[in-house]
Amino acid sequence: MNREEIKKILPHREPMLLIDEIEKQGNCSVGRYTVRGDEWFLQGHFPGHPIVPGVILCEMMAQSCCLLLQDTIKGRLTLLLKMDNVKIKQSVVPKDTVEFKCELINAKDPFYFATSTAYVNGKVCASGEFSFALK
């Protein structure tokens, strides 16, 4: 699923759409984003040594969970309620492609709970648990 197809699921638009592609793999979703280097969130973080902010990695992980709820969220607003056990283990820099592996761990409409782990070159760079509410 490319960015245009993702826009049919998520309400996010540029510059806040932070996933380039996503696919379903069994009961998991796998999203990807390649950091170009000209993104708004790198402009001051940090001059001469750009690093993707941890909070942006969290947003990328949360957006990557979208395919897990693809049929459920159509026509509904997805609200991120809570992040637990978030860990940033490695910096993400321009030219890195980050891969996000997500899994739905619990659901009781309108509440949904998922985990996401972010990888660069096969190494974990971030992980966390995310709670969503659908409105």
Quick check: is 45 catalytic?
A: yes
Q: Which of 73, 135, 60 is nearest to 102 (CA)?
A: 60
Helix (H) or strand (E) holding 134: strand 123-134
Q: Which of these is catalytic: 45, 54, 76, 96?
A: 45
CA 8 to chain centroid, in Å, comes to 16
Round to whole Å and give the CA distance between 72 and 123: 31
Helices H, strands E: what count in the chain?
Answer: 3, 6
Helix (H) or strand (E) holding 65: none
Q: Give the catalytic positions in this structure.
A: 45
